[in-house]
Structure 1
Amino acid sequence: MPNTALGIFNKQHLEGQGLALDDELAKVNKEIYERNVELAIKNRTLQLIRQMYEIMNSTYDAEETARKLIATIVSELKLPKGYIILVDKKNNLIRFVSEFPAPAAGDEIFAIEDGKLIISLSESDNFCVEAILQNRRRMTNSLYDLFVPMLSEIRAANYQKKLGVETSIIYPLAFSSEVFGVMVLALDKHLGFLSSAEKDALKEITNVVAVAIERAQIYSDLQSANIRLEALDQLKDEFISIASHELRTPMTAIKSYVWMVLNRHADTLTPKTHEYLDRVYKSTERLINLVNEMLNVSRIESGRVMLKPAEFDLVELAQDIKREVQAKLVEKNQTLTVENTQPKIPVYADREKVQQVFENLVGNSIKYSPVDGRISIEMTIEKSMAKATVADNGKGISPEDMPKLFKKFSRLESSMAALPEGGTGLGLYISRQFVELSGGKIWAESELGQVTRFIFTLPLYQSLEAKAV
């Protein structure tokens, strides 16, 4: 009897263990299945996001980006419907810019073409408006909540039944905490049937949509701004060109008449009058130089610079420059030497433009070199190019200022003490343009407290002849 009872007990015990193992195995299998489903959702989401990034990198219009994104999302996730709605701040409304799939025949009232379906931001009963104003996700079981007051409840309900939509989720699209629209995803099941992995996937997809549309909008805004800036720049160039021409004629006349008084009637002038007229002459000369520089910049940037290349001797031009600036050198007791390795260095360029380059470089050396300063022009031939170097023993240029050289309106205040005779900051910019248009290069070598060298190259006349042969 005890043995029989013990035998029954053992049998029940074994059967209980078997049931427990079955439950544990079922639990493990369920966990494995859920993990596999979650992994499949993540892989599918990654593939979708990859496609979205391809759209982002190939489309630069906000509405076109929205159309492509919603079509891709709805197709890949096999949803009944999807919309992207953007805010129109200027008109205080929201605009349905894209939907997918396109409406069937007879449903044209839902057709979204060129953002024709619009709703005022003052319609607080509309769930899309509410999601935008409150920057929070909304859900609804009725499409009517998306289209109020544009559609009646009956018509919205009929359309929802036709689509097979159970729930619509409205996701705010925001960038830097500013909501600029919403994405609506219509589901054929209730939100409660979505797994946590699916909910996370939809949230991640929404973030990518927001970034893509905002990026496209920024690009579009930049394009529009660039077009406006180009138009304004053209107007500015035209104004500078006209104003400079109108200024140059009277300024040249003033300079000529003052020169005549100073040089032909000097004996009739008092010392004070002579001093005043001399100041007028120099100021007029600076104004004419400014006008000429502005005209040069206008011609350069509009592509109207006309070069007249011809053979000329660079050494001879350097000697001419030395004679031209002799009076300024005497004023500061400075010396200018011209050194050349060849008695003649023939180049092929526009002589007038190269003369302006020399005048700018030598003029800067005179301006920024001390009294008793030493300036030199050295010329040589290197690799079928003529090389000219203008050097001085001025204050030098700091490493911070070096990148500013040859840029428009650049002033090197940290390297050079303020001088009574200012400059426009255009001379080096114009010089670079003229040298490069002539087929050469220009650069600078300097340190604070050291010798400053401005170097430029020009094509030799012989090398061009050799090419022609």
Structure 2
Amino acid sequence: MDILLLSNLEIVIGTLLLICIGALFTVLNKKTNRIIFLQKIVSKLKKSFDSLDEQAKLIVKTDIELNKTQEELDKRLESLDSLQKASRLISTTLNEKEIFLHLDQSIITELGFEKNLTLIYDKKETLHCRVSLGFSKNDADFIVSNFSNEAEIIKILKSGETFCSVQISTQQRAAISQLFGLEQFILSPILTQNGMIGFVFIGNQSNTSPITEGDQELIAILANQIGQSLENARLFEEVYRSSQVLETKVQERTKQLSSALEEVQKINKAKSDFISAVSHELRTPLTSIKGYASILMAGKLGEIPEPVKERLNKVNKHSDNLVALINDLLDISRIESGRVEMNITQCQIKDLIENVHDLLTPQMKEKNIQWTTNINENLPEISVDGRQIERVFINLVSNAIKFTPQNGTISIKAHITNDIVELEVSDTGIGISDEDIARLFDEFYRVENKINQNVKGTGLGLALTKKIIEAHNGKIWITSKLNEGTTFHFTLQPSTQKDFNL
């Protein structure tokens, strides 16, 4: 019994142990799984933290780069602003000295540099320092006197290229660094249409801030602006000097012309006075000669032979011609001196033309010349000396009759243009060359042609005609074609215009 109980007890205890062991294994298994799960979570967290750390490092790096880029952009903007300011200053002056005065230390500093030399060649290819910033006078003079030895560098500059210290050979860089005393530098040629006239040297003493491609572009732009401004200033100076010389010459020539004009006026006055005096002196004896000839021809002193009478007729005719010539000379003299007496009245153009037609009809019939008129019916009255304007028509129509062949045509036209009365006397005669037209209104000038050689005249009629028209504030001109005909145009003011140069 006791043995049985003991055996059962062992079984129970064994069972309980198994249960406990199973439970323990179950618990251990759960904890193991939990540990594994936690390890996985820790591993994931570690990866996440590592990723975040990398991202944080990347963000910090990016931020540093952005800050650096921002600083570079700010620096570039400041440099561009400085360049724009410098360009505005030097481009708005036309004085060469002021251009270089605007290139001061503040501009160079704002561009990010410490030192600057601007060197310019003169007409003799001698180099001169026009701007020295950061260099002593002795240093600048030394550089100017020795730079001509750098043939290779000068060759590069003359090609129009801008270069910096890192773009040339070690030997060239060492030579320039030794000459200018700078490790970092930019050299840019100053160019005009005539080629290189100088260059800009700019740089820094230290290597803490290396020169960039952007810096090189800025200095190239600055050098180009200096070149354009210098060229504009020199062109302006040249134009100004030329204008001064021209003005001096104009003043001298004006003075000479004024003196010559005064002399011509004196000569014209002397000529007019002489013509007036001589004409008066000639007219008196001519009047007596004509009078005695008329008395003799009338037979008041007895009968005279027919041959003598013919000679007296010629004397009388030539006396009339001389009197007409003298009257023309006197009228020209009076008009030129302003002493002519004009009787200004209201006249109709049509009436004046009809009077001239009636007077000259016999001469036109001799050559079977046709007379035509085209007169605007709405023409206003004109305020003129009717006798003098008739004289103009007589001179022009008489000339037309002389130089128009048999069966030709003479036309008179009158119309109004822009409130001005314009008249035309046209013929179908031999015409006038351009060379003769230019001198046709000169006193005593006569066209050389076969007809003119057979036609007598003094060469005063057209000169007097021009004087009369101009005395009425009018104008007269000629259009003509050889072998086709000639037209004399002249203008007169309507009756509302009463300001005459008489």
TM-score of the pair, normalised by structure 2: 0.47
Say which one has the larger Rg: 2
Richer in helix (by share): 2
